[in-house]
Structure 1
Amino acid sequence: MNAAHWRGKRVLVTGGAGFLGSGLCHALGAMGAEVLALDAMLDGSGAHPGNLDGSGATLVTADLRDADLAPHTRDMDAVFNMAGQTSHAGSMADPFADLDINATAQLRLIAALRDGSPDAVLVHASTRQFYGTPRYLPVDEAHPLAPPDPNGVSKLAGEQYWMLEHRTRNRRVTSLRLTNCFGPRLRVRDARQTFLGIWLRRLLEGQPFEVWGGAQLRDLAYLDDVVEAFLLAAETPSCAGSVFNLGGAPPVSLLALAEAAVAANGGGRFLFKEFPAERAAIDIGSYHADDTAFRAATGWAPKVSLEDGLRRSLDWFRPRLEAYL
């Protein structure tokens, strides 16, 4: 990534007080960008008031669903669209709210940016969830789409609204379909953002965490690598109009991941459990991404190993855990 590219740029980060959004705010601020972090600060989301400490970003508390967005979307050079509802169980319980956040709110942001920043580059945070249960591994962008729950459907609608904006308005839009991401400032109160959050919490509390199944494969991406991918996507004009998978470290079984987390913590234990019935119905089994296309387009490759990422995450949370519960 090119630090000089961002110096003096005006950048909007939606979901800016969340896990990935705040990571971008810190990186952009360090490179001299003027960053506006817009976040609804919803209870149950990944937003945390401490996530932006030291970033230099200006936080505006506003909900994309109903706020006046015009004052916050003027004269932007780039937008990182990280806002979204990510809870699978939450989408099953209230699909209407899920649709509002992940689809209707995206249309409101599109309209505001057409008026205020028609030339801003936009990178959209999307999800591997669209593919559902993989028919083959690794999963490339040509894999059939079969979202397993309402969250997958709403997120797919939001992504496609943005790709339509590229096709009809020629805005530079790129969408990155993310695998499981982890690192500092991840939501660890519970498993609403990712199962790994509650694993980290239990390890730091000296309590056992639960592993459901154990044989499923996952590829995990560390925060710093994900942030670099978003910045490269925005910096690379040839990415415009494309949807890319983004993976991370080589795939690992949940059992091996649990053992690696315990080792990174210097101790701990876990329990095997059967999948809860309501989660078994939407579990996709094993997944890992083929992100060859994005690597070829940008030169990106993850730099942080799974083991190092787990150590860094635990070390970051250890003195801060109480503030994040």
Structure 2
Amino acid sequence: MHWRGRKVLVTGGAGFLGSNLCHALATQGARVVALDGFLFGGGANPANLEGAEVELVRADIRDVDLRPLCEGAEVIFNLAAQTSHMGGQRDPLADIAVNAVAQVRLIQAAREAAPDAVVVHASTRQFYGRAHHLPVDEEHPVNPPDANGVSKFAGEQYWMIEHRVNGRPVVSLRLTNCYGPRLRIRDARQTFLGIWIRSVLEDRPFEVWGGEQLRDMTYVDDVTNAFLLAGATPACHGRIFNIGGSPPASLKEIADITVRVAGAGARYTIREFPADRARIDIGSYHADDRAFRQATGWTPEVGLEDGIRRSLDWFRPRLAAYL
């Protein structure tokens, strides 16, 4: 798809993934509307959209009139979500309001104002729970380990029903651990690597919980390319895809790479999982994303060491804006 001149709505557009997507779309000439409520504890940051020719609408997806925002949109990238595992455990009603109820509101608004728009929905590998086998493909049983997984799964399924019943072209991308520029790093609400990056840049040791769990990390530029391809590839319509990244590495291996890239003074300690997190930990995970690669030709281009180096270099002069 040639993006120049096309109206695109990005919900969650001031967050980590949404803002990177907005920058890419604007650079390619799209008319981008970014919706974000800047909810407490989320990844939205005003600094994320600096330098991007994007119309930012600061409003809560739970109550704003979504029809004018959808009007004329050819593609809707739907990244608005409550992503904190512990946040969902503590307040499941608020979790459901964003991840499920608000999704139905957006579906209804898009039916009226953008009936032909392609929708690319940001989903998560969290649904699978503890893996029965590795790598995990899209046929793996769904067994959400926590409240946030349940609400996110509900939201995804509402969108897939919209495809099956009403024929809307919908694509759902189940993402793994994403990282890179514009990540929330003030704490670990988005990913463990966020607080690691902050700690390294503040010359403090970071904690590794467990250490042997495997993860496949996806650099944000590769995630952005996956969204753009999903929105532009008719063969993806009506399908759910896993999105992976670099070859899997243990948390300890990722920590060692982070220390090596950061240089002198970087260090970490290993500790047992806190009891409340241990109960919802999924163990090792890495994705089988061959289906998406075959459908689109996508492949991750940024390796783990290079991605961590790029992330540290990007945040170093901007640290104050992200704390």
The 1-side partners of 2:87 and 2:296 are apart by 35
Letter in 2 for 1:295: R
How far off is 1:230 after superposition? 0.5
Classify the secondary structure of the residue corresponding to 1:79: strand
Question: For this pair of structures, how many residues does the alignment match?
Answer: 322
Secondary structure at the counterpart of residue 20 of structure 1: helix
1:311 aligned residue: 309
Within a 5 Å distance, the mapping from 1:239-318 to structure 2 comes to 239-267=236-264, 268-318=266-316
**Residue 195 (1) aligns with residue 192 (2):** yes
> How many angstroms apart in 2 are the aligned matches of 1:23 and 1:118?
26
Runs of 4+ off more than 3 Å = none
1:214-254 deviations in whole A, cap 9, x for unaligned? Answer: 00000000000000000001110010000000000000000
AA aligned to 2:180 is G
The answer for the alignment partner of 1:175 in structure 2 is: 172
Amino acid at match of 1:187: R
- The equivalent residue for 2:111 is 114
1:35-184 → structure 2 map (5 Å cutoff): 35-184=32-181
Letter of the structure 1 residue corresponding to residue 254 of structure 2: L
User: How far off its partner does 1:263 sit?
Assistant: 1.2
Match of 2:317, SS? Answer: coil
Aligned partners of 2:43 and 2:261: how far apart in 1? 24
Question: What SS does structure 2 have at the residue aligned with 1:26?
Answer: helix
The Cα shift of 1:262 comes to: 0.9
One-letter amino acid of the structure 2 residue matched with residue 114 of structure 1: R
| Distance across 2 between alignment mates of 1:12 and 1:207 | 39
The TM-score with structure 2 as length reference comes to 0.99
1:205 counterpart residue number = 202
What TM-score results when the alignment is normalised by the length of structure 1? 0.98
Partner SS, residue 190 of structure 1: coil
Q: 2:227 aligns with which of 230, 239, 249?
A: 230
| Cα distance in 2 for residues equivalent to 1:178 and 1:144 | 16
CA positional deviation for 1:67: 1.1
Deviations 1:88-144 (CA, angstroms, capped at 9, x unpaired): 000110001001110000000001111110001110000000000000000000000
CA RMSD of aligned residues (A): 0.6
1:264-287: CA deviation from partner (whole Å, max 9, x where unpaired): 112300011110000000001000
From 12, 15, 19, give the equivalent of 2:16: 19
State the alpha-carbon separation in 2 of the partners of residues 186 and 262 from structure 1. Answer: 19
Gaps of 5+ in 2: none
CA distance in 2, matches of 1:246, 1:69: 28
CA distance in 1, matches of 2:123, 2:52: 24
Unaligned runs of 5+ in 1: none
Letter in 2 for 1:57: V
Identity %: 66
SS of the aligned residue for 1:171 comes to: coil
- Aligned equivalents of 1:109 and 1:62: distance in 2? 13
Hey, what's the Cα distance between the residues in 2 that align with 1:68 and 1:241? 26
Distance in 2 between residues matched to 1:63 and 1:245, nearest whole Å: 28
Structure 2 CA distance, aligned partners of 1:316 and 1:64? 30
In the TM superposition, residue 324 of structure 1 has moved relative to its aligned partner by 0.6
**Cα separation, 2, equivalents of 1:55 and 1:142:** 38
